[in-house]
Amino acid sequence: MNSLNDRPKEACGVFGVYTENEQTQAALLIYIGLFSLQHRGQESAGMVVSDGKRLLAQKDLGLVSRVFNPDNLHLLKGRIGIGHVRYGTSGSNYVANAQPLMAGCSKGILAVAHNGSLLNRTQLSKKLEERGALFQTSTDTEIIMNLIAGFSKETLEEAVALAAAQLVGSFVLVIMTKDTLIGVRDPYGLRPLCLGKVEDAFVLASESCAFSVLGGEFLRDIEPGEVITIDHQGVRSRFLEKPEERALCIFEYIYFARPDSTIDGLNVHQVRKAMGRELAKEFTGAADVVIPVPDTGISAALGFAEASGIPYDLGLIKNPYVGRTFIKPRQDQRDLGVRIKLSLVSEVVKNRRVVIIDDSIVRGTTTRKIIRMLRETGAREVHMCISAPPITQPCFYGIDTSVRKELIAAGNSIEEIKEYINADTLTYLSSKGLSKAINQKGHCSACFTGTYPIGLPTEREKGGSQLDDQL
Ligand code: SF4
């Protein structure tokens, strides 16, 4: 088992480029942009570019570094393009499901990349099948593409807006034809999308960290419900009908996004530090050292140390070069999977009372292994502190925690979880503490509260579509 996979999983990152400059190679910008979004999905990567006349594509299963190389990038000539990294929650991990998807329609060749999950996918695909649509993949993206193609008399911009109005769920889209780039963010703003500029190119990306790596500038977040079109006439927007409240997934701040990204006006690192400070106020124990579970626990641990006065140190070191591990440990190699990825600095933890900061506990298996390693290394006490409330409810909006029985906090009290992971104390950040740290309204926090801003999928949707079984 992959040792650090006891985490909520993200479901994709998207990237788009538009420039009038024929000298700009969009493929290079997309390649670098996708690298900085790799944390959002590692199952497949792909891009489509246009030289103004035709669309060229390259996609495959695997990391960005595996899918692209100097030879195939050289062939991807063009000044407009979109890219995608995928973690598949809906639709299985086949190369056919790698994105962007491409198809011909009345508007020419269309390419679409999507981050999110539709609640009404079964109804929509059924409706499309009745009209004669054929599906080659089990992705929501193909459904969206068919909906857009169905508006054959409308302009591309209108067709995208009309199609998006039929979608229920979380979605961020980047869409292109040979001469146009369009970005869409769902009316609740569940997933992030922002606009930047890299020299003379307009760039759309799931996270602003993709602009800094390219030496570009962040211009603004795409608003919930916004359909932004970029073509030879410039940049313009129209809006889908919006609900009263936005509902950005709170896990973007807690875990998914990179700390150097700014989402809806808040820098992720600063928010995580504030969570750590609030967590320190709620921690009632005493300790000698604060250590993070790298990487996402680092910012919160810094905030915790700042507010508590307990020194921060690096007690756990992550091996950055380990991808998926497939070694099956022998009985006597207990916790090998975790040990390959994380190792302890015994000088930091031996004979000490250790506070260890992490962002979440999903099943509890990895946390239990880390605590066992700490104890075996000689930690005197282990105080587990989590910079978010317990995850008690599954996500139906594109994050891979959709099976309630796998969530340790769904069926166990905090005391029972503490016993299972074998910590001396276990402190979760309270919902009040989380709200204080974020200090902004308009988030989905359904996996803590059970209040789902867009409602729940039907029983059939929860079980996956028939296409999933067949493709
Ligand atoms: S249910 Fe949880 S993981 Fe899913 S969108 Fe809402 S906050 Fe994010």
CA 283 to chain CA centroid, nearest Å: 29
What's at 10, amino acid-wise?
Answer: E
- Per-residue pLDDT averaged across 220-248, rounded? 94
Confidence of residue 2 (pLDDT cuts 50, 70, 90): very low
pLDDT attached to residue 336: 76
What does the pLDDT look like over 380-396, one tens digit per residue? 999 999 999 999 999 98
Using alpha carbons only, what angle is made at residue 125 by residues 122 and 131, rounded to the nearest 5 degrees?
145
Are 202 and 217 within 8 A, CB to CB? no
Ligand 1 test: best mutation among 117, 360, 443, 445, most atoms within 8 Å of CB?
445
| DSSP, residue by residue, 76-119 | ---SEEEEEEE--SSS-S-GGG-SSEEEEETTEEEEEEEEEEES
Task: Return the structure tokens found at 147.
Answer: 């909906």
Of 7-11, 369-373, 461-465, the poorest mean pLDDT is in 461-465
pLDDT band, very low/low/confident/very high, at 132 (cuts 50, 70, 90): confident
Max intra-chain CA distance, the chain: 73
**Peptide bond preceding 186: is omega within 30 degrees of 0, i.e. cis?**
no
pLDDT for residue 448 is more than 50: yes
Pocket test for ligand 1, best of 87, 256, 447 (most atoms within 8 A of CB): 447
Residue 288 has pLDDT above 80, yes or no: yes
- Please give the distance, rounded to the nearest whole angstrom, from the Cα atom of residue 303 to the centre of ligand 1: 24
- pLDDT band at residue 9, thresholds of 50, 70 and 90? low
Q: How far is the CA of 268 from the centre of ligand 1 (A)?
A: 16
Bridge pairing between strands 181-185 and 169-176: antiparallel
Question: Active-site residue 12, yes or no?
Answer: yes
Lowest mean per-residue pLDDT among 226-230, 328-332, 463-467: 463-467
Q: Are strands 381-386 and 353-358 parallel, antiparallel or unpaired?
A: parallel
Asked if residue 177 has pLDDT above 80, the reply is yes
Cα(213) to centroid(ligand 1), Å: 28
Neighbour-count burial for 300-322, b at 16+ CB within 10 Å, e otherwise: bbbbbbebbebebbebbebeeee
pLDDT confidence tier of residue 113, bands split at 50, 70 and 90: very high
Tell me which residue has its CA closest to atom 7 in ligand 1.
445
Residue 240 to residue 418: CA distance in whole angstroms? 46
User: Taking residues 270-299, what's their average pLDDT?
Assistant: 97
Question: What structural domains does the chain harbor?
Answer: 13-247 (3.60.20.10), 266-443 (3.40.50.2020)
pLDDT of 384 reads: 98
Ligand 1 atom nearest the C-alpha of 250 is: 7
Closest-lying ligand 1 atom to the alpha carbon of residue 249: 8
What is the distance in A from the centroid of ligand 1 to the CA of 454? 11
CB neighbour list of residue 469: distance below 8 Å, 6 or more residues apart: none
Judge if pTM exceeds 0.75. yes
Q: How far apart are CA 236 and CA 222, in angstroms?
A: 12
pLDDT for res 324:
53
Q: In the predicted model, is pLDDT for residue 168 greater than 50? A: yes
* Residue 467 pLDDT greater than 60, yes or no: no
- Nearest ligand 1 atom to the CA of 251 is 8
The confidence score (pLDDT) of residue 466 equals 34
Q: Determine which residue's CA is closest to atom 5 belonging to ligand 1.
A: 249
pLDDT (average), residues 416-427? 98
190 Cα–ligand 1 center, Å: 8
The average pLDDT across 273-277 equals 98
pLDDT for 10 equals 57
Chain segment 145-155, per-residue pLDDT in tens: 999 999 999 99
What is the residue-wise DSSP string for 304-341? HHHHH-PPB---EEE-TT---------TTSTTHHHHHH
User: Which ligand 1 atom sits closest to the C-alpha of 443?
Assistant: 7
The two tokens of residue 98 are: 């790698």
Residue 398 Cα: closest atom of ligand 1: 4
Q: Which residue has the higher pLDDT, 4 or 281?
A: 281
Determine the distance separating the centroid of ligand 1 and the alpha carbon of 63, expressed in angstroms: 25
Unique residue bearing structure tokens 């909006």 = 397
- Ligand 1 neighbours, Cβ below 6 Å, are 8, 190, 249-251, 395, 397, 399, 444-447
